[in-house]
């Protein structure tokens, strides 16, 4: 520890920029009659997602939320109508230029929207904040075909293994599946090329990457996840779904997640049965999206690291 460790990691002008951004966001949703809500940061349940590491609060016997998604969907099932939230979220083991274990998220849900409707609304919001830019929408299959010459929905595991080694130097092992290698290629090869001078939306992910999104067939009859991700200047900024509303299917996915966690020696966490009950009671057809506000601020402030836009980064908090 040094004598200057008490000081903020972000310049004060950037903190003022954050305050101004929040005012813009609240005005945007107020104009559209989207209700601001607040849900608990602590929950008895955790995210079962294989790729997320939950932060447990042992003294409380609870978990810090990785996203407000589950609680917000319970509000939707209780007829809240369109809602949004600006809140903290927490994920263990995520630290780096674009990651902090504690980060700020904007999440909102629109009954009656699908994910394409929500992409259009995102463009309206981002244009107000970042200025007008060209918009490009590409399917997950199209971007892999254009940049890597493969159909990600059909390519063999052996071909993906070779591609990963050629483009990233990664040597796959027996535990790596297709989604692991597709994620690697997306993150290290494709993502840095996306959103250069534009808003780039990638949609129709593999059905195996559906998370909490609906699964549908694309124009070629291939089952795909009805979800999208937004990229700006080579950085993933948002992740949106046409939301799953089937409680039985949600329970099946949670159970499959926990089996995968167990098989890979990861913590088997308590699933959110209250979300399942909410879906069974009737979640309205809706679309939702989570947008990383720290990353958005990085773009607004031309910052190279997340520590430049948060008041106190994790190393001095």
Which one-letter DSSP state was computed for residue 211?
A: T
pLDDT tens readout for residues 288-305: 999 999 999 999 999 999
Which residue from 274, 287, 215 is spatially nearest to 247, judged by alpha carbons? 274
- List of long-range contacts for 265-268, beta carbons under 8 Å, 24+ apart: 266/50, 267/54
* 160 confidence band (pLDDT: 50, 70, 90): very high
User: Between 93 and 200, where is the model more confident?
Assistant: 200
pLDDT value at residue 281: 97
Is pLDDT at 95 greater than 80 in this prediction?
no
Instruction: Give the SS3 label for residue 177.
Output: coil
Instruction: Give the SS3 label for residue 193.
Output: helix
Give the strand pairing for 55-57 and 42-43.
Answer: unpaired
pLDDT value at residue 64: 96
* Distance separating alpha carbons of residues 118 and 239, to the nearest angstrom: 11
* Distance separating alpha carbons of residues 219 and 126, to the nearest angstrom: 29
Q: Assign domain 12-134+197-308 one CATH number from 3.40.50.12780, 3.30.930.10, 3.40.50.150, 3.20.20.70.
A: 3.30.930.10
For residue 10, give Cα distances in angstroms to 86, 91, 152, 184, 309.
Answer: 20, 21, 40, 31, 5
pLDDT tens readout for residues 233-291: 999 999 999 999 999 999 999 999 999 999 889 999 999 999 999 999 999 999 999 99
pLDDT value at residue 273: 97
Give the ranges where 131-232 is alpha helix by DSSP (H): 140-148, 157-168, 178-185
For residue 256, give Cα distances in angstroms to 50, 211, 212, 261.
Answer: 10, 11, 13, 9
pLDDT average, residue stretch 196-218: 96
Helix (H) or strand (E) holding 190: none
Is pLDDT at 94 greater than 70 in this prediction?
no
* Percentage of the chain lying above the pLDDT 90 cut: 87
pLDDT tens readout for residues 99-127: 889 999 999 999 999 999 999 999 999 99
Sign of CA dihedral 210, 216, 220, 222: positive
* Distance separating alpha carbons of residues 314 and 301, to the nearest angstrom: 20
Strand partners for 137: 201
pLDDT value at residue 315: 84
pLDDT average, residue stretch 35-53: 94
* Percentage of the chain lying above the pLDDT 70 cut: 99
For residue 219, give Cα distances in angstroms to 3, 4, 168, 203, 222.
Answer: 61, 58, 32, 13, 7
Instruction: Give the SS3 label for residue 230.
Output: strand
pLDDT average, residue stretch 40-54: 93
* 314 confidence band (pLDDT: 50, 70, 90): confident
């Amino acid at each position: 520890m040094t004598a200057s460790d008490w000081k903020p990691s972000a310049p004060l002008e950037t903190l003022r920029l954050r305050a101004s951004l929040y005012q813009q966001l609240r005005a945007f949703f107020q104009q559209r009659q989207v209700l601001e809500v607040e849900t608990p940061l602590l929950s008895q349940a955790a995210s079962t997602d294989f790729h997320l590491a939950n932060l447990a609060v042992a003294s409380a016997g609870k978990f810090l939320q990785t996203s407000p998604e589950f609680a917000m969907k319970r509000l939707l099932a209780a007829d809240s109508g369109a809602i949004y939230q600006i809140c903290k979220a927490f994920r263990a083991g995520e630290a780096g230029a674009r990651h902090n274990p504690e980060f700020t998220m904007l999440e909102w849900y629109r009954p009656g929207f699908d994910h394409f409707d929500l992409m259009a609304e995102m463009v309206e919001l981002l244009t107000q904040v970042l200025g007008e830019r060209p918009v490009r929408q590409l399917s997950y299959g199209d971007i892999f075909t254009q940049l890597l010459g493969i159909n990600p929905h059909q390519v063999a595991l052996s071909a993906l293994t070779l591609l990963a080694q050629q483009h990233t130097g990664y040597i796959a092992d027996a535990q790596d599946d297709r989604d692991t290698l597709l994620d690697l290629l997306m993150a290290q090869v494709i993502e840095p090329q996306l959103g250069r001078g534009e808003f780039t939306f990638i949609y129709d992910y593999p059905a195996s990457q559906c998370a909490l999104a609906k699964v549908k067939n694309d124009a070629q009859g291939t089952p795909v996840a009805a979800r999208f991700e937004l990229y700006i200047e080579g950085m993933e900024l948002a992740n949106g779904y046409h939301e799953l509303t089937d409680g039985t299917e949600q329970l099946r996915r949670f159970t499959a997640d926990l089996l995968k966690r167990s098989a890979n020696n990861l913590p088997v966490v308590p699933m959110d049965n209250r979300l399942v009950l909410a879906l069974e009671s009737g979640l309205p057809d809706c679309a939702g999206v989570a947008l990383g506000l720290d990353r958005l601020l990085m773009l607004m402030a031309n910052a190279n690291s997340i520590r430049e836009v948060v008041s106190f980064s994790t190393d001095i908090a």
